[in-house]
Structure 1
Amino acid sequence: MNGLRKRRGYATAAAAGAGLVLALTACSGGGDDGGGGDAGDGDATADCSAFEEYGDLSGKTISVYTSIVDPEAQQQRDSYKPFEDCTGATIEYEGSREFEAQLPVRLEAGNPPDIAYVPQPGFLASIVADYPDVAVPAPQGVVDNVAEYFSEDWAGYGTVDGTLYASPLGANAKSFVWYSPQFFEDYGYEVPETWDDLIALSDQVVEDYPDGSVKPWCAGIESGDATGWPATDWLEDMVLRTAGADVYDQWYKHEIPFNDPQILAALQATGEILKNPDYVNGGLGDVTSIATAPWTEAGYGILDGTCLMHRAANFYAANWDEGVTVQEEPTDQGVYAFYLPSMDDTKPILGGGEFVTGFSDRPEVEAFRAYLASPEWANAKAEATPAGGWFSANNGLDPELIVQPVDKLAFELMTDDAYTFRFDGSDLMPGAVGADAFWKQMVSWIAENQSDEETLDNIEAAWPTS
């Protein structure tokens, strides 16, 4: 459940207006020139020329299996409508909360879906290793689209043993700090641009509120069976900032031990915020309250005025109550997010996403895989998500279609060559580590004040020996 747990609380807003994409992008495959036909309401037409390369796929059916369930599932279905209308193909979509457990079962039984959306590169690698005769390398259309529209980092996470097997789908960015622009303006605080600025701001809040009525930070890592995962994100971000991307890569690959001195230094830096009683836990309690505070609600103190900052991904926007406005301009009941600063000239950004993996080389399947790696799909998906809460690292995505400001900021950073992207480390580690020991030991680190050394030693001991 390693990837599924990262989706806990990541429900986008209800699919209000989900059918919007039908009116905007509906097209007909029946025209002599392959061009647009009447839209659903007869008021708009769309060009099917981008779909001509796929040919006439009338009567063909492609099955898709994924962990993405409603309400996001409906937005996914709507994003396929241009492909279906322009090619004549039918997409059969199946979302399951048991995806990660059931996909290997289906592969073993000889009943694979045509396409699966795999939420972790580590899971992808294991599928290719365990089912080499079933997993189908990316066809040329996908290879070409990935080379043109995605960074080398993203392409690398879909690559196994030098072969591209999967193209990136959706994305998220985790290196963000949420705050209230109105509070910052009212009290003369400025958004920090460096790590030293961030610590200086935290210290300033402590000085301004010696009674502790406002804390610099609020945090929560409770997430049901997946409790602890937000703390792993904190450490991953800190490894990138204190040790760098190369060490990060060595760490998740276990080329250096989990308890390497460089990782110890990163955990100590994490503790300078999360285990500092002067810094946390605004409106929620002492340091130990982080372990029991629901991560979905932990940032609410920003609006209550009990805490200044909350580190969380772009998709945290879905957790604010109705009536809260996400925007950079100061406003009552308004929130925004800034990039978690680096400690040097590098600009690391932590994130995650899904990867389109194929188990059939039928022409219609290869065509749909190419579509999912194209700007046409990325733009259709953005149109199918009018309430926001989604973006892709596809640089062909029209940023004007991204309606939620922090999603737009995440897209800008993710597609900026000045930033170095790294995938969520726990999603790249073996399940016994990334989805078990890492979570649990980070909980003990906070709830029981377990030492930095013991925490890392325990996680290292859980690493599989083969």
Structure 2
Amino acid sequence: MRAERRSMGRRRMLGVTLAAGLAISTAAACGGDDTDTGPEGGGALKGQTVTVAAIWTGTNEGAKFKKVLDAFGKRTGAKVIYTPTGDNVAAFLGSKVNGGAPPDVAFLPQQGVLVEFAKKGWIKPLPAEAQSELQKNFAKVWQDLGSHDGKTYGIYYKTGSKSTIWYRKQAFTDAGIAQPPTTWADFVKTAQTLSDSGATPIAIGAADGWVLTDWFENVYLSVAGPDKYDQLSKHEIKYTDPTVKEALRRLAEIWGKQNYLAGGPKGALQTEFPGSVPQVFGASPKAAMLPGADFVASEITSATKSKVGTDADFFPFPAAGATAPVVGAGDAAVMMKDTPGARELLKFIATTEAARIWAEQGGYISPNKSLDLAAYPDEVQRRIAKAVIDAGDDFRFDMSDLAPAAFGGTKGAGEWKILQDFLADPSDVDGTAAKLEQAAADAFK
């Protein structure tokens, strides 16, 4: 199974410890990694047990997810046993299947894993009632992402936007920048204005290659549009396509300026993503802007003294083409065993109530279009959630998560390494496109 690089990068950045046990229970653990969550009450599932596996753990995500499962237990009377999977969700669940003990419900953090599990028969199609809630509350793009070969398997419960650029408000004020940029041309001008004011414009944690794939995906989606994005993600068009070269040329407008990057390209390539956050928001900032996903807000709060909304803010990734991109990822609930408890939990996960419980706690974005934005605890999260919902069917899943690991998810190889080389020397657009195509062709065989 491929490494779950999105999850690993996020959890490492947030400083979450993936322990063998999860100390969030209101009852005693039932052995091993399993944790009871919520007491049994009255309801249709009284006396029944539902087993759940997901990546979320700790006092941040794990404790918040516990409240969702608690609500389900109180609503149905079910006893819920939750098992944290660790970073490599696919490998963990594969071992459970091979051992004859898969959970009733699992949450998968990659669309490619959902498809793989569907092909192997490890997950069951959604029951009718869950599918009805899904169709009522989710845009078609989310229904499609949870489907394979004409059947719907997953409900995307939690999502994230990778189309946000975080900035230090004081740096913009000092440079006389009144409004954040909305177009790529304005973004380049903003970078130059910051540089002219004596500030380094951008920090990039390029030692983590996935950071650069996020840049490319945002620019490419905006330049080429959703249909081309879909074709490229499946390697139905080549990486030597003119749209790919145009995206690379746009990136070179930023990456090609030594003084635009904290530490220059060499310094950026030696900085992992967690280290790039204090470069912008730490006590001794070295840059003014940080392109990164919505979860950067949590790191700003926990790792620096800056306050989101006061010292730090974000603007949507600027439009390099006709429209601004919205690229992200998500965690899909799937049914691994067809039990009454699994059916009820999947139906519950698709409801607005289930989304609201976590949304009110913060650190969460739901693709559920029926959720009132007022459920989010602050204006920053409401703006990010609105961008995801407003994107509708133009939202696109992280392309590198859709690709074979050899191309889109391997350290020191494939797209990660080629884009790192391009950051170091963005002068050869044609040569870089050719290298991407060769790597993709090898991986998609």
- Is the pair's TM-score, using the shorter chain for normalization, greater than 0.5? yes
Separation in 1 of the partners of 2:256 and 2:79?
Answer: 53
Q: Shift in Å at residue 216 of structure 1?
A: 1.8
1:50-449 matched pairs, under 5 angstroms: 56-71=44-59, 72-97=61-86, 98-129=88-119, 131-132=120-121, 134-189=122-177, 190-209=179-198, 214-222=199-207, 227-281=208-262, 285-303=263-281, 304=284, 306-320=286-300, 321-327=303-309, 331=310, 334-383=311-360, 385=361, 388-417=362-391, 420-436=394-410, 437-447=414-424
Separation in 2 of the partners of 1:195 and 1:419?
Answer: 23
Q: What is the DSSP-based 3-state SS (H/G/I as helix, E as strand, rest coil) of the residue aligned with 1:5?
A: helix
Q: Shift in Å at residue 420 of structure 1?
A: 2.3
Q: What is the DSSP-based 3-state SS (H/G/I as helix, E as strand, rest coil) of the residue aligned with 1:217?
A: coil
Contact (CA 8 Å) 1:347, 1:419: kept in 2 or not?
no
Contact (CA 8 Å) 1:347, 1:418: kept in 2 or not?
no
Separation in 1 of the partners of 2:370 and 2:40?
Answer: 23
Separation in 2 of the partners of 1:372 and 1:204?
Answer: 46
CA deviation profile, 1:208-261 (whole Å, cap 9, x unmatched): 33xxxx122221123xxxx21101101111111221111111011110123333
Q: What is the DSSP-based 3-state SS (H/G/I as helix, E as strand, rest coil) of the residue aligned with 2:45?
A: coil
Q: Shift in Å at residue 104 of structure 1?
A: 2.2
Q: What is the DSSP-based 3-state SS (H/G/I as helix, E as strand, rest coil) of the residue aligned with 1:326?
A: coil
What root-mean-square deviation, in Å, do the aligned CA atoms of Structure 1 and Structure 2 show? 2.6
Aligned residue for 2:14?
11
Say if 1:204 and 1:447 are closer, same or farther in 2 by CA, change over 3 A. closer
CA deviation profile, 1:304-329 (whole Å, cap 9, x unmatched): 453221111110112223532111xx
Separation in 1 of the partners of 2:108 and 2:40?
Answer: 31
Separation in 1 of the partners of 2:246 and 2:7?
Answer: 29
Contact (CA 8 Å) 1:444, 1:450: kept in 2 or not?
no
Separation in 2 of the partners of 1:418 and 1:62?
Answer: 32
Q: Shift in Å at residue 6 of structure 1?
A: 4.5
Q: Shift in Å at residue 115 of structure 1?
A: 1.2
Say if 1:353 and 1:465 are closer, same or farther in 2 by CA, change over 3 A. closer
Moved more, 79-88 or 450-459: 450-459
Structure 1 counterpart of 2:299, one-letter code: N
Moved more, 365-374 or 445-454: 445-454
Structure 1 counterpart of 2:266, one-letter code: T
Q: Shift in Å at residue 404 of structure 1?
A: 4.4
Contact (CA 8 Å) 1:399, 1:408: kept in 2 or not?
yes
Say if 1:456 and 1:93 are closer, same or farther in 2 by CA, change over 3 A. farther
Unpaired segments of 5 or more residues in structure 2?
Answer: 18-23, 27-37
Q: What is the DSSP-based 3-state SS (H/G/I as helix, E as strand, rest coil) of the residue aligned with 1:409?
A: helix
Q: What is the DSSP-based 3-state SS (H/G/I as helix, E as strand, rest coil) of the residue aligned with 1:65?
A: strand
Q: Shift in Å at residue 148 of structure 1?
A: 1.4
Say if 1:296 and 1:395 are closer, same or farther in 2 by CA, change over 3 A. same
Q: What is the DSSP-based 3-state SS (H/G/I as helix, E as strand, rest coil) of the residue aligned with 2:443?
A: coil
Q: Shift in Å at residue 12 of structure 1?
A: 8.3
Contact (CA 8 Å) 1:346, 1:419: kept in 2 or not?
no
Q: What is the DSSP-based 3-state SS (H/G/I as helix, E as strand, rest coil) of the residue aligned with 2:93?
A: helix
CA deviation profile, 1:86-109 (whole Å, cap 9, x unmatched): 211011111122322222233244
Contact (CA 8 Å) 1:351, 1:423: kept in 2 or not?
yes
Say if 1:187 and 1:125 are closer, same or farther in 2 by CA, change over 3 A. same
Contact (CA 8 Å) 1:57, 1:89: kept in 2 or not?
yes
Contact (CA 8 Å) 2:256, 2:425: kept in 1 or not?
no
Give the number of the structure whose residues are more often helix, by fraction: 2
- Taking every aligned residue pair, what percent have the same amino acid on both sides? 28
Q: What is the DSSP-based 3-state SS (H/G/I as helix, E as strand, rest coil) of the residue aligned with 2:57?
A: coil
Separation in 2 of the partners of 1:95 and 1:248?
Answer: 33
Separation in 2 of the partners of 1:258 and 1:95?
Answer: 38
Say if 1:444 and 1:455 are closer, same or farther in 2 by CA, change over 3 A. same
Moved more, 134-143 or 315-324: 315-324
Contact (CA 8 Å) 1:10, 1:315: kept in 2 or not?
no
Q: What is the DSSP-based 3-state SS (H/G/I as helix, E as strand, rest coil) of the residue aligned with 2:66?
A: helix
Separation in 2 of the partners of 1:247 and 1:93?
Answer: 40
Separation in 2 of the partners of 1:237 and 1:73?
Answer: 29
Q: Shift in Å at residue 74 of structure 1?
A: 2.2
Q: Shift in Å at residue 173 of structure 1?
A: 0.5
Separation in 1 of the partners of 2:40 and 2:53?
Answer: 26
Contact (CA 8 Å) 2:255, 2:426: kept in 1 or not?
no
Structure 2 counterpart of 1:145, one-letter code: E
Contact (CA 8 Å) 1:169, 1:355: kept in 2 or not?
yes
Contact (CA 8 Å) 1:314, 1:406: kept in 2 or not?
no
Separation in 2 of the partners of 1:250 and 1:191?
Answer: 32
Separation in 1 of the partners of 2:256 and 2:16?
Answer: 33
Separation in 2 of the partners of 1:240 and 1:264?
Answer: 13
Q: What is the DSSP-based 3-state SS (H/G/I as helix, E as strand, rest coil) of the residue aligned with 1:248?
A: helix
Contact (CA 8 Å) 1:119, 1:355: kept in 2 or not?
yes
Q: Shift in Å at residue 124 of structure 1?
A: 0.8
Contact (CA 8 Å) 2:205, 2:273: kept in 1 or not?
yes
Say if 1:10 and 1:404 are closer, same or farther in 2 by CA, change over 3 A. farther
Q: What is the DSSP-based 3-state SS (H/G/I as helix, E as strand, rest coil) of the residue aligned with 2:368?
A: coil
Q: Shift in Å at residue 454 of structure 1?
A: 4.2
Separation in 2 of the partners of 1:136 and 1:173?
Answer: 28
Q: Shift in Å at residue 4 of structure 1?
A: 2.9
Contact (CA 8 Å) 1:9, 1:319: kept in 2 or not?
no
Contact (CA 8 Å) 1:289, 1:447: kept in 2 or not?
no
